[in-house]
Chains A and B, each alone.
Chain A
């Protein structure tokens, strides 16, 4: 059975389970998934929302099914988690690296203010 050519070719490192456009059966699975799950531009929005609230079970299943034909959204999901990990660590990492100090005049001003406040 003939499989159509992919109008949106996938690069060699694509490791989706059902990328489509290869075997007839795999292609049908891909078409079925794409009929029953949101498109990628919608998936990324939902994935982001999932970082801020718990998604309904139905949604979470849809996302997992979508990932089977789209390693890009799957990567995106993992990278959102990485982004959170980076952001958590960021203030400490960049704060230590910066070596910024409170300027001397600010320190003197602070001490005066504190003295006035405690009297």
Chain B
């Protein structure tokens, strides 16, 4: 049997990609697009695009990272096509000024302000349970805001590029990111750092 990832002479057998990389690509897409159907479609589009461009792939990188690279572009394309529609829940979420966290003059309500996070972040990241909490908290963000947060913070795409992709203004993007960060910070603090994290 041919070893996975080898770029032996001639064309690779594309159906082998499905067995070698299918699950990995699927999982990659699934964390980023929420529904299984979309994730499957994106994997298919990726592999079809790979068939068309495999001559250009000269084995400079591993087969896996080449395919993941194509998938990344497909994911951004997917969000571009979704366009700029904002849902009602997004609007409600964006209106929230977290006013209960601040006194009228604008200072934090000190007794309710951000707590020191213990254990430290590096230690937290080794705990499987923490990632479940993170997933629950991300899941609470309204769709559009969650998408924007994912593109910026998980994929590390520069703000300007996100604005172009989604056709939104930079200040609009900043508002969405600010609210997302505020909500996530709060959710992690309440559900992990002041709760499970403290006990473990």
A79 touches B51 (CB 8 A): no
Interface string of A74-105 (1 = CB under 8 A from B): 01101110111111111101111110111100
Cα distance A82–B125 in the bound complex, in angstroms: 10
Asked if A70 lies at the interface with its beta carbon under 8 angstroms from chain B, I say: yes
A81 to chain B, nearest CB (A): 8
Interface size on B, residues (CB 8 A): 65
Asked if A60 lies at the interface with its beta carbon under 8 angstroms from chain B, I say: no
Q: Which of the residues B43, B110, B138 comes within 8 Å of A110, measured between beta carbons?
A: B43
B18 touches A110 (CB 8 A): yes
Q: Which of the residues A13, A39, A107 comes within 8 Å of B116, measured between beta carbons?
A: A13
Which of B56-64, B80-88, B173-181 lines the interface with chain A?
B173-181
Interface string of B8-22 (1 = CB under 8 A from A): 000100110111001
**Given A8-B103, A70-B108, A89-B125; A101-B23 close (CB under 8 Å):** yes
Q: Which of the residues A39, A76, A106, A118 comes within 8 Å of B114, measured between beta carbons?
A: A76
Interface string of B147-159 (1 = CB under 8 A from A): 0011011101001
Q: Which of the residues A8, A76, A87, A114 comes within 8 Å of B153, measured between beta carbons?
A: A87
A79-B117, A101-B26 known; 10 new pairs, CB 8 Å cut-off, are A45-B174, A48-B174, A87-B153, A88-B153, A91-B28, A98-B30, A98-B31, A103-B40, A110-B18, A114-B18
Interface residues of A (CB under 8 A from B): 8-11, 13-14, 38-42, 44-45, 48-49, 51-53, 70, 72-73, 75-76, 78-80, 82-91, 93-98, 100-103, 106-107, 109-111, 113-115, 117-118
Interface residues of B (CB under 8 A from A): 11, 14-15, 17-19, 22-23, 25-28, 30-32, 40, 43-44, 47-48, 51-52, 97-98, 101-103, 105-111, 113-117, 121, 124-125, 128, 131-132, 134-135, 138, 149-150, 152-154, 156, 159, 173-174, 177-178, 181-182, 184-185, 188-189
